[in-house]
């Protein structure tokens, strides 16, 4: 029994490390950082910029229809939108239970890009900044 528990524990630790390294690498590529930083899978605290998922909240007048219909201003790099629930709001972002309070983002030209999900189910979605619902908070105020 002890040997079985040891192998299960070893497997869980290795899985945790692999998923966290995968997540960290994708986040590193998302920001184009010069130095690699380790992040727990789905936890981007300490990332360059984070924002509430409510920035991608679906307009209440559009609360029925397909994800493509209700998220018409949001583009996904993988080609389709995944919606998630955050508190009582539906949002246009693949939220994992690991990162449901803050998501990494960056702004390039007139678009805001969001790093949604946890490895290996990461999705990068974007919308024009003029359609964003929130102004980002500086990390120093968190």
In the prediction, which pLDDT does 142 show?
41
Distance CA 97, CA 86 (A): 10
In the prediction, which pLDDT does 62 show?
61
Give per-10-residue mean pLDDT for the chain (142 aa): 82 84 83 72 69 85 72 89 86 76 88 89 91 67 42
| 12-to-42, 111, 120 alpha-carbon distances in Å | 16, 38, 16
């Amino acid at each position: 029994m002890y040997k079985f528990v040891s192998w299960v524990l070893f497997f869980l630790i290795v899985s945790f490390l692999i998923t966290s390294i995968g997540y960290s690498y994708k986040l590193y590529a998302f920001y184009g950082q010069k130095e690699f930083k380790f992040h727990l899978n789905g936890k981007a605290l300490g990332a360059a910029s984070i924002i509430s998922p409510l920035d991608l909240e679906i307009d209440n007048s559009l609360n029925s229809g397909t994800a493509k219909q209700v998220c018409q201003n949001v583009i996904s790099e993988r080609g389709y939108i995944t919606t998630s629930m955050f508190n009582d709001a539906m949002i246009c972002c693949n939220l994992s239970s690991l990162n449901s309070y803050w998501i990494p983002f960056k702004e390039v030209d007139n678009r805001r890009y969001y790093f949604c999900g946890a490895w290996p189910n990461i999705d990068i979605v974007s919308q024009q900044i003029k359609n964003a619902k929130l102004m980002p908070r500086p990390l120093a105020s968190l």
